[in-house]
Amino acid sequence: MQRKVARYGRPRRRWRLWQSLFFLALLVTAFYVFLQSSLFNINSIVVQGNNVLEQDSLRKMSGINPGENIFKVNTGEAARKLAMHPLLKGVEVKRDLPSRIIIAVQERQGLGLVPYQGRFWLIDEEGVLLQAVDSLQEKNLPLLTGIQLKQPHPGLKLNQPGISSGLALLKILPRELYLSTSEIDVRDENNLKLYTVDGIEVRLGDGERGQQKINLFLQVWKEVKDKKLLYVDVSHQGYPTYKTVE
Protein backbone atom coordinates (compact mmCIF):
# COMPACT_ATOMS: atom_id res chain seq x y z
CA MET A 1 0.00 0.00 0.00
CA GLN A 2 1.45 3.39 -1.07
CA ARG A 3 1.88 6.22 1.43
CA LYS A 4 0.46 9.67 0.73
CA VAL A 5 3.15 12.31 0.60
CA ALA A 6 2.18 15.76 1.91
CA ARG A 7 3.20 18.66 -0.34
CA TYR A 8 3.93 21.97 1.39
CA GLY A 9 5.77 23.87 -1.38
CA ARG A 10 2.77 25.50 -3.11
CA PRO A 11 1.06 26.94 0.05
CA ARG A 12 4.38 28.38 1.17
CA ARG A 13 4.92 30.08 -2.18
CA ARG A 14 1.43 31.55 -2.01
CA TRP A 15 2.09 32.86 1.49
CA ARG A 16 5.32 34.53 0.37
CA LEU A 17 3.51 36.09 -2.59
CA TRP A 18 0.82 37.53 -0.31
CA GLN A 19 3.51 38.81 2.03
CA SER A 20 5.28 40.56 -0.86
CA LEU A 21 2.04 42.11 -2.10
CA PHE A 22 1.17 43.28 1.41
CA PHE A 23 4.53 44.99 1.95
CA LEU A 24 4.39 46.51 -1.53
CA ALA A 25 0.94 47.96 -0.81
CA LEU A 26 2.22 49.21 2.53
CA LEU A 27 5.16 50.95 0.86
CA VAL A 28 2.94 52.53 -1.81
CA THR A 29 0.53 53.77 0.86
CA ALA A 30 3.35 55.19 2.97
CA PHE A 31 4.88 56.89 -0.07
CA TYR A 32 1.50 58.37 -1.04
CA VAL A 33 0.94 59.70 2.48
CA PHE A 34 4.47 61.13 2.43
CA LEU A 35 3.81 62.97 -0.84
CA GLN A 36 0.60 64.42 0.58
CA SER A 37 2.37 65.85 3.62
CA SER A 38 2.75 69.59 4.17
CA LEU A 39 6.43 69.24 3.29
CA PHE A 40 5.41 69.40 -0.38
CA ASN A 41 3.00 72.32 -0.09
CA ILE A 42 4.14 75.23 -2.26
CA ASN A 43 5.54 78.07 -0.17
CA SER A 44 7.41 79.99 -2.88
CA ILE A 45 6.73 80.87 -6.55
CA VAL A 46 9.85 82.42 -8.07
CA VAL A 47 9.69 84.38 -11.35
CA GLN A 48 12.89 84.71 -13.38
CA GLY A 49 13.76 86.62 -16.57
CA ASN A 50 11.14 89.37 -16.36
CA ASN A 51 12.13 93.00 -16.91
CA VAL A 52 8.88 94.67 -17.95
CA LEU A 53 6.14 92.39 -16.66
CA GLU A 54 5.38 92.34 -12.94
CA GLN A 55 6.04 89.15 -11.01
CA ASP A 56 2.67 89.17 -9.25
CA SER A 57 0.77 89.35 -12.53
CA LEU A 58 2.74 86.40 -13.93
CA ARG A 59 2.14 84.35 -10.78
CA LYS A 60 -1.58 85.04 -11.00
CA MET A 61 -1.71 84.22 -14.70
CA SER A 62 -0.02 80.84 -14.10
CA GLY A 63 -2.93 79.72 -11.92
CA ILE A 64 -0.54 78.26 -9.32
CA ASN A 65 -1.27 79.17 -5.71
CA PRO A 66 0.82 78.90 -2.53
CA GLY A 67 -0.29 76.04 -0.31
CA GLU A 68 -1.06 73.66 -3.17
CA ASN A 69 0.64 70.29 -3.23
CA ILE A 70 3.57 70.63 -5.61
CA PHE A 71 2.85 67.28 -7.28
CA LYS A 72 -0.75 68.22 -8.05
CA VAL A 73 0.30 71.29 -10.04
CA ASN A 74 0.07 70.87 -13.82
CA THR A 75 3.23 72.72 -14.88
CA GLY A 76 2.47 72.22 -18.58
CA GLU A 77 -0.94 73.84 -18.25
CA ALA A 78 0.57 76.73 -16.28
CA ALA A 79 3.16 77.28 -19.02
CA ARG A 80 0.45 77.27 -21.70
CA LYS A 81 -1.51 79.93 -19.82
CA LEU A 82 1.54 82.15 -19.52
CA ALA A 83 2.51 81.64 -23.17
CA MET A 84 -0.73 83.40 -24.16
CA HIS A 85 0.71 86.69 -22.90
CA PRO A 86 1.64 88.79 -25.98
CA LEU A 87 4.84 90.09 -24.40
CA LEU A 88 6.25 86.63 -23.69
CA LYS A 89 8.34 84.76 -26.24
CA GLY A 90 9.18 81.71 -24.12
CA VAL A 91 8.00 80.19 -20.82
CA GLU A 92 9.14 77.30 -18.63
CA VAL A 93 7.47 76.22 -15.39
CA LYS A 94 9.27 73.67 -13.23
CA ARG A 95 9.22 72.17 -9.74
CA ASP A 96 12.07 72.77 -7.32
CA LEU A 97 11.47 70.22 -4.58
CA PRO A 98 10.31 70.14 -1.97
CA SER A 99 8.15 73.28 -2.04
CA ARG A 100 9.20 75.81 -4.68
CA ILE A 101 7.90 76.55 -8.19
CA ILE A 102 10.12 78.37 -10.70
CA ILE A 103 8.59 80.35 -13.58
CA ALA A 104 11.29 81.25 -16.13
CA VAL A 105 10.16 83.65 -18.86
CA GLN A 106 11.70 85.25 -21.93
CA GLU A 107 10.16 88.60 -22.75
CA ARG A 108 9.88 89.87 -26.32
CA GLN A 109 12.26 92.71 -27.09
CA GLY A 110 11.31 95.72 -29.18
CA LEU A 111 13.36 96.13 -32.37
CA GLY A 112 11.58 99.06 -33.98
CA LEU A 113 8.54 101.34 -33.87
CA VAL A 114 5.54 101.50 -36.21
CA PRO A 115 3.71 104.87 -36.41
CA TYR A 116 -0.07 104.79 -36.00
CA GLN A 117 -2.42 107.74 -35.45
CA GLY A 118 0.06 109.89 -33.58
CA ARG A 119 1.41 107.03 -31.46
CA PHE A 120 4.07 104.38 -32.01
CA TRP A 121 3.74 100.61 -31.68
CA LEU A 122 6.72 98.65 -30.44
CA ILE A 123 7.44 95.67 -32.73
CA ASP A 124 9.77 92.72 -32.12
CA GLU A 125 11.99 90.78 -34.52
CA GLU A 126 9.15 88.37 -35.39
CA GLY A 127 6.77 91.17 -36.37
CA VAL A 128 4.67 90.96 -33.19
CA LEU A 129 3.24 94.22 -31.82
CA LEU A 130 4.03 94.65 -28.14
CA GLN A 131 2.70 97.94 -26.83
CA ALA A 132 1.94 101.52 -27.87
CA VAL A 133 3.99 104.50 -26.70
CA ASP A 134 3.12 108.18 -26.98
CA SER A 135 6.47 109.55 -28.12
CA LEU A 136 9.72 108.51 -29.76
CA GLN A 137 11.60 109.59 -26.66
CA GLU A 138 10.09 106.72 -24.67
CA LYS A 139 11.79 104.16 -26.90
CA ASN A 140 14.84 105.29 -28.84
CA LEU A 141 14.36 102.86 -31.73
CA PRO A 142 14.24 103.14 -35.55
CA LEU A 143 10.90 103.66 -37.26
CA LEU A 144 9.40 101.20 -39.74
CA THR A 145 7.31 103.31 -42.10
CA GLY A 146 5.00 102.48 -44.99
CA ILE A 147 2.97 100.00 -42.90
CA GLN A 148 -0.82 100.20 -42.87
CA LEU A 149 -2.09 99.17 -39.44
CA LYS A 150 -5.70 98.17 -38.83
CA GLN A 151 -6.91 97.88 -35.24
CA PRO A 152 -3.47 97.18 -33.73
CA HIS A 153 -3.29 95.42 -30.38
CA PRO A 154 -0.62 93.65 -28.31
CA GLY A 155 0.16 90.23 -29.75
CA LEU A 156 -0.89 91.07 -33.32
CA LYS A 157 1.62 89.64 -35.80
CA LEU A 158 2.18 91.69 -38.94
CA ASN A 159 2.68 89.80 -42.20
CA GLN A 160 2.55 92.61 -44.72
CA PRO A 161 5.08 92.55 -47.58
CA GLY A 162 8.28 94.35 -46.71
CA ILE A 163 7.94 94.07 -42.93
CA SER A 164 9.99 90.88 -42.62
CA SER A 165 12.68 92.38 -44.89
CA GLY A 166 12.78 95.58 -42.84
CA LEU A 167 13.05 93.67 -39.56
CA ALA A 168 15.73 91.41 -41.01
CA LEU A 169 17.76 94.49 -41.92
CA LEU A 170 17.41 95.95 -38.43
CA LYS A 171 18.66 92.69 -36.93
CA ILE A 172 21.90 92.67 -38.93
CA LEU A 173 22.80 96.34 -38.54
CA PRO A 174 26.03 96.94 -36.62
CA ARG A 175 25.32 98.71 -33.35
CA GLU A 176 26.76 102.02 -34.54
CA LEU A 177 24.55 102.06 -37.62
CA TYR A 178 21.52 100.77 -35.70
CA LEU A 179 21.78 103.69 -33.28
CA SER A 180 22.24 106.06 -36.24
CA THR A 181 19.19 104.77 -38.13
CA SER A 182 16.07 106.90 -37.89
CA GLU A 183 13.81 105.04 -40.31
CA ILE A 184 13.42 102.13 -42.72
CA ASP A 185 10.75 102.65 -45.38
CA VAL A 186 9.17 99.27 -46.24
CA ARG A 187 6.18 100.44 -48.29
CA ASP A 188 7.72 98.80 -51.39
CA GLU A 189 9.41 95.49 -50.58
CA ASN A 190 11.49 95.79 -53.76
CA ASN A 191 12.60 99.32 -53.00
CA LEU A 192 13.56 99.41 -49.32
CA LYS A 193 15.14 102.60 -48.03
CA LEU A 194 17.08 103.31 -44.86
CA TYR A 195 17.47 106.84 -43.49
CA THR A 196 20.11 107.85 -40.98
CA VAL A 197 19.70 110.53 -38.33
CA ASP A 198 22.04 112.66 -40.48
CA GLY A 199 19.59 112.51 -43.37
CA ILE A 200 21.46 110.04 -45.58
CA GLU A 201 19.17 107.97 -47.80
CA VAL A 202 20.39 104.41 -48.35
CA ARG A 203 18.69 102.79 -51.35
CA LEU A 204 18.66 99.07 -50.66
CA GLY A 205 16.36 97.65 -53.31
CA ASP A 206 14.89 94.32 -52.24
CA GLY A 207 15.79 92.39 -49.10
CA GLU A 208 18.30 90.11 -50.80
CA ARG A 209 22.02 90.34 -49.96
CA GLY A 210 21.20 92.48 -46.94
CA GLN A 211 24.51 92.03 -45.14
CA GLN A 212 26.52 92.72 -48.30
CA LYS A 213 24.56 95.91 -49.00
CA ILE A 214 25.02 97.17 -45.46
CA ASN A 215 28.77 96.51 -45.66
CA LEU A 216 28.99 98.41 -48.96
CA PHE A 217 27.19 101.39 -47.46
CA LEU A 218 29.50 101.41 -44.44
CA GLN A 219 32.48 101.36 -46.79
CA VAL A 220 31.24 104.46 -48.63
CA TRP A 221 30.25 106.13 -45.36
CA LYS A 222 33.82 105.84 -44.09
CA GLU A 223 35.44 106.82 -47.37
CA VAL A 224 33.56 110.12 -47.67
CA LYS A 225 33.21 110.92 -43.98
CA ASP A 226 34.54 114.44 -44.60
CA LYS A 227 31.66 115.16 -46.99
CA LYS A 228 27.92 115.23 -46.47
CA LEU A 229 26.22 112.32 -48.21
CA LEU A 230 22.80 112.82 -49.78
CA TYR A 231 22.22 109.22 -50.81
CA VAL A 232 24.00 105.91 -51.35
CA ASP A 233 22.56 103.37 -53.79
CA VAL A 234 23.54 99.77 -53.00
CA SER A 235 20.56 98.18 -54.73
CA HIS A 236 22.59 97.07 -57.76
CA GLN A 237 25.55 94.76 -58.21
CA GLY A 238 29.02 96.24 -58.06
CA TYR A 239 30.31 99.31 -56.29
CA PRO A 240 27.62 101.66 -54.88
CA THR A 241 26.70 104.94 -56.49
CA TYR A 242 26.32 107.96 -54.24
CA LYS A 243 25.92 111.71 -54.19
CA THR A 244 27.39 114.27 -51.84
CA VAL A 245 26.66 117.92 -51.19
CA GLU A 246 28.97 120.04 -53.30
**How many CB atoms are located within 10 Å of the residue 235 CB?**
19
| CATH number, position 205 | 3.40.50.10960
Three-state DSSP class for 100?
Answer: strand
DSSP for residue 39: G
Inform me whether the pLDDT recorded for 10 exceeds 70: no
Judging by beta carbons within 10 Å of its beta carbon (0-12, 13-18, 19+), is residue 110 exposed, middle or buried?
Answer: buried
Query: Per residue in 76-88, pLDDT tens?
Result: 999 999 999 999 9
Q: Which of 130, 138, 222 is nearest to 174 (CA)?
A: 222
More confident residue, 138 or 221: 221
Whole domain around residue 57: which residue ranges?
A: 40-107
Query: Per residue in 126-170, pLDDT tens?
Result: 999 999 999 888 888 999 999 989 999 999 999 888 999 999 999
The count of structural domains within the chain is 2
Query: Per residue in 164-191, pLDDT tens?
Result: 999 999 999 999 999 999 999 999 999 9
Q: Within this chain, do residues 219 and 116 fall inside the same structural domain, yes or no?
A: yes
Provide the pLDDT for residue 33: 56
Domain's final residue, options 58, 73, 107: 107
Domain's final residue, options 81, 107, 133: 107
**0.75 surpassed by pTM:** yes
Provide the pLDDT for residue 4: 53
Domain's final residue, options 107, 128, 148: 107
Q: Within this chain, do residues 156 and 238 fall inside the same structural domain, yes or no?
A: yes
Q: Within this chain, do residues 44 and 87 fall inside the same structural domain, yes or no?
A: yes
Q: Within this chain, do residues 115 and 177 fall inside the same structural domain, yes or no?
A: yes
Give the Å distances, CA to CA, from 147 to 155, 161, 170, 196, 228. 17, 9, 16, 19, 29
Provide the pLDDT for residue 140: 87
